[in-house]
Amino acid sequence: MLRGGEPFDFAQGREPVERRSRTVSKVGETGAYSPPAPLWANPAGVGPESAAGVPSEDKYLAVARIIRPQGRRGEVAAEILTDFPERFTAARRAYLENPPGEPEAVEIESAWPHKGRIVLKLAGVGSIGAAESLRGRHVLIQKADRIPLPAGHYYLWELEGCRVIRRSALGAEELGTVTAVEPTPGVNLLHVSTGKGEILIPFAQTICTRIDAGAKTIWIEPPEDLLELNS
């Protein structure tokens, strides 16, 4: 799962968010965030988990990370890892990261914003001690419950693992696979692993002319000298 899942909006030039958990993988309900190394996961943050008892990144996304207890009745303050914080008041069911096992279902009794974070009251957590035991855990949702994005918007985890195919007058050539998306002040960069090393492709609409997230494929039509700059 990522915190990394802000969606990227080609039209507006910004990245949105439901991030994947940094613990189960690097994916979240956001799309242009580059999270730190996951607590458990494939180092690339792409692909299913292989360790026994570890949930697959295909199932969950991180929407918050518990920072500390907040209050005396078991409330917790959490870092928001989603571009859609309204989901905390709209939804009542979530999952708590439970390494090294499967996440456990939890009911959100109430939620409210506080100083840039979200305060959560979780069912069954009724004391400061119980809240303290949750420090550092991620609050998850099932990937199927992510916020749908409009056309032209993509979560980072949808781009990672995509095949990159170059189209030209000579035909189509598969260059490699996206291993990471690097946020920059300008245009984000796709890190593409090829048989000859790594190349960087600007994630710009003029270059990435077609994206099929379902088929995990990105078609590019780069300027003639772009690939030469990577060599």
Q: What is the pLDDT of residues 138-195, one digit of tens each?
A: 999 998 888 888 888 888 888 999 999 999 888 899 999 999 999 888 888 999 999 8
Q: Which among 183, 180, 177, 171 is positioned nearest to 217, based on CA atoms?
A: 177
pTM of structure: 0.65
Domains (ranges, CATH) in the chain?
Answer: 7-153 (2.40.30.60), 161-230 (2.30.30.240)
Can you tell me the distance from the alpha carbon of 85 to that of 63, in angstroms, rounded to the nearest whole number?
Answer: 8
Average pLDDT, the chain: 77
Bridge partners for 64 per DSSP:
80, 139
Half-sphere exposure in the Cβ direction for 1 (13 Å, CA): 34
pLDDT of residue 149: 85
pLDDT(37) > 50: no
Number of CB atoms found within 10 A of residue 13's CB? 12
pLDDT(54) > 90: no
- Residues of the chain with pLDDT > 70, as a percent, come to 73
